[in-house]
Chains A and B, each alone.
Chain A
Amino acid sequence: MAAVRVEEVLAAAEEQEAERRRSVTVEKELELEFDLGNLLALDRNPPPAAGLRGAGPRREAQLRALARDNTQLLVARLWELPAERAGGAGGPLVARLPEPAFRLPREKPPPRPRPPTRWEQFARLKGIRRRKRTSLVWDEQAKEWRRRWGYRRAGGDPARAWLAEVPAGADPEEDQFARLRREKRERVARNELNRLRNLARAHRAGAAVPAAPLHPTGHQSREELGRVARVARVSTASLGRFQPRLPKEPAEPPSRSGGRKRRFEPLLGNLAAERSRQLELLRDMGSKKPVLDITRAVNKQLRQEEAEAAAAKGKKQSQRGKRGRRQQRAGRSSKKSGVRRQQQQQRPAGGGTGRRKKA
């Protein structure tokens, strides 16, 4: 009887095992192609032609079975990846995915090419080509090669331009130097205006606006990188309010002037609010103050030392006999020694047991 039962149990267990294994193994004609970096599994097996025609619950069930089988194969592959425990010994088991092989298509259309500027159009029309300029220029007066622009440039020495001729047909009263300066300023302004116009035209035409400072190269200075990091931080939908900070980065609100000016509270601002803020500050300061343990301990120690010294003196006197005892008694009756007696009681250890009991 028992043997039969055991056999039955074993058979049932084995059937259960087979069932479980069946649910885990999947048979396919063609092997699937896997891209584990994207968690992608491509099934090139031809679908069962008969079942997928027409809508219906049977079709649904077949599709679901197909999806389940493919997912089973993908998960089996994932379990084969090298894994480690994240966050120490008790953390979850994390598989390390390989690099994704499948290139996902673009989300947005590629940027259009920049439209040519007015000068570029003109140059193309006229056939003007760009000539490379030399960096040094021969300065005739200084008789040496000077740089084209910058420190000690050729012909840029202001002491040299001591004369400005009045051109024929100009007003003799006009200040020529002022005129030259004004014209230079106008030229610079016009140049800047044209640059901005070209930029606006490119932007309107949908071209990619050159964001060269925002792409990291190896040659950027610390300030530039800091500026770029700040811009990148603010370029989110919430203007950087919820961006996580590095551990040592200080939490600060963005200043309008970009860190140039210190801002203070207004002079006659809300005085009630100021008062409440100050009271809260006082409360915080008060709560953090530790109790003066040191002073108390020191004073207590001093008192104990005094008491011990007095006790020692009293003991010495008691050894002298009757006279000492009389003095002792007299000493004991005074208020001072009463206090001392109480302090002796408080002492955790030490001599003077007789006196303590009597007190």
Chain B
Amino acid sequence: MRPLTEAETRAVFEKLGKYIGENIQLLVDRPDGTYCFRLHRDRVYYLSEKLLKVAASVPRDSLVAPGTCFGKFTKTQKFRLSVTALDFLAPYAKYKVWVKPGSEQSFLYGNHVLKSGLGRITENTAQYQGVVVYSMADVPLGFGVAAKSTQECRKVDPMAIVVFHQADVGEYVRSEDTLT
């Protein structure tokens, strides 16, 4: 386990910034305790100082996961956000997409969101903007990338993809083994 280097921190913040914008400050600088990011086996974890001190005394080989995994660095040093970060990002999300109950299941199976399944979308969403996908009952379901801007969404035909799927809570069941 080690702290992130400058380049790694920049990569992580850039990725997070796509979804929550300048609200990352609220993750870094919390009133209820000191939280930090640590890297363990190419995965980025978000944990409190108290937990960090305790996890530091566990040998590296035996340590499975300290804190919450936000994502991992691939072999070519690109940062991929994983669904386990949803609980922290959903409250601060800037751009949201609500999905109709009919196509919720489809999204949870890993498919993209089509125009026919789109319930609401935040105004002024740019194209390829990171979005958080909610159900109509305001339950966060996962992340995505807006395939079309809000304006375009209005005009496009019902079978077109409006949100690319990136991560969803169904992964907790589907990829149980690889998730930390």
Contacts and interface: CB of A to CB of B under 8 A. Distances in A.
Interface stretch (B2-10, B109-117, B136-144, B170-178): B2-10
A285 B34 contact: no
A265 B10 contact: no
Contacts of B6: 281
B38 A292 contact: no
Contact of A286 (B22, B52, B151): B22
Nearest to A289: B17
Contacts of B25: 279, 282
Contact of B28 (A265, A275, A302): A275
B75 interface: no
Contacts of A285: 10, 13-14, 17
B49 interface: yes
Residue of B1, B2, B28 contacting most chain A CB atoms (<10 Å): B28
Nearest to B17: A285
Interface residues of A, number: 21
B126 interface: yes
A251 interface: no
A268 B53 contact: yes
The 8 closest A-B pairs by CB, nearest first: A295-B126, A265-B3, A264-B2, A278-B28, A271-B34, A299-B151, A302-B151, A292-B126
A253 to B, nearest CB: 14
Given A265-B3, A302-B151, A275 B14 contact: no
Nearest to B16: A282
Contacts of A267: 1-3, 38, 52, 56
Interface residues of B, number: 27
B29 interface: yes
B20 to A, nearest CB: 11
B24 interface: yes
B13 A274 contact: no
27 contacts: A265-B2, A265-B3, A266-B3, A267-B3, A267-B38, A267-B52, A268-B53, A268-B56, A271-B36, A271-B49, A274-B36, A275-B29, A275-B36, A278-B9, A279-B28, A279-B29, A281-B6, A281-B9, A282-B22, A282-B25, A282-B28, A285-B13, A285-B14, A286-B22, A295-B124, A295-B149, A299-B124
Given A285-B10, A292-B126, A264 B5 contact: yes
A274 B3 contact: yes
Interface string A241-285: 000000000000000000000001111110110110011011001
Nearest to B38: A267
Contacts of A295: 124, 126-127, 149
Contacts of B28: 275, 278-279, 282
Contact of B3 (A269, A272, A279, A302): A269
A298 interface: yes
A286 B36 CA distance: 20
Nearest to A285: B13
A292 B6 CA distance: 26
Interface in A305-333: none
Contacts of B29: 275, 279
Nearest to A301: B151
B58 to A, nearest CB: 12
A292 B49 CA distance: 37
A51 to B, nearest CB: 74
Contacts of A264: 2-3, 5
Given A298-B151, A299-B151, 9 more contacts: A266-B3, A267-B1, A267-B52, A268-B52, A271-B49, A275-B34, A278-B28, A281-B10, A295-B149
Nearest to B149: A295
B86 to A, nearest CB: 21
B23 to A, nearest CB: 10
Interface in B51-67: 52-53, 56
Contacts of A292: 126
Interface string B82-120: 000000000000000000000000000000000000000
A278 B5 CA distance: 11
A274 B8 CA distance: 14
A292 B128 CA distance: 12
B13 to A, nearest CB: 6
Contacts of A274: 3, 36
Interface in B122-165: 124, 126-127, 149, 151
